[in-house]
Amino acid sequence: MKSYTTTRFTFLPERRVVWKEVCRYLNRNFIPDRARILELGSGYGDFIGNIEAKERFAIERDVRFKQYVSQYNDVTFHFADVLSIPDIVSRDSIDVVFCSNFFEHFEISDIQEQLRLIRTVLKHDGKLIVLQPNYQLCARRYFDDWTHKSIFTHDSFADFLETQGFDIERCFKRFLPFSMKSHLPINKLLVRFYLNSWVKPFAAQFLIVATLVNTENDL
Q: What angle do CA 9, 152, 86 make, to 5 degrees?
A: 70
DSSP string, 83-120: GGHHHHS-TT-EEEEEEES-GGGS-HHHHHHHHHHHHH
Q: Which are the contacts of 41, defined by CB distance < 8 A and separation ≥ 6?
A: 59, 60, 61, 82, 99, 100, 101, 102, 105
| 133 within a domain of the structure (yes/no) | yes
| 174 within a domain of the structure (yes/no) | yes
* Average pLDDT in the chain: 90
Domain that holds residue 161: 7-34+92-212
Assess whether pLDDT exceeds 90 at residue 66: no
Listed in order, strand segments (DSSP E) in the chain are 36-40, 55-60, 76-79, 94-100, 122-133, 166-177, 203-212
Among residues 53, 22, 50, 21, which one has the least CA distance to residue 37? 53
Assess whether pLDDT exceeds 50 at residue 208: yes
| 141 within a domain of the structure (yes/no) | yes
| 111 within a domain of the structure (yes/no) | yes
| 27 within a domain of the structure (yes/no) | yes
pLDDT the model gives residue 67: 79
| 161 within a domain of the structure (yes/no) | yes
| 23 within a domain of the structure (yes/no) | yes
The CATH code of the domain that includes 176 is 3.40.50.150
Q: How many structural domains is the chain composed of?
A: 1
Q: What is the pLDDT of residues 104-116, one digit of tens each?
A: 999 999 999 999 9
Among residues 130, 119, 139, which one has the least CA distance to residue 171? 130
| 189 within a domain of the structure (yes/no) | yes
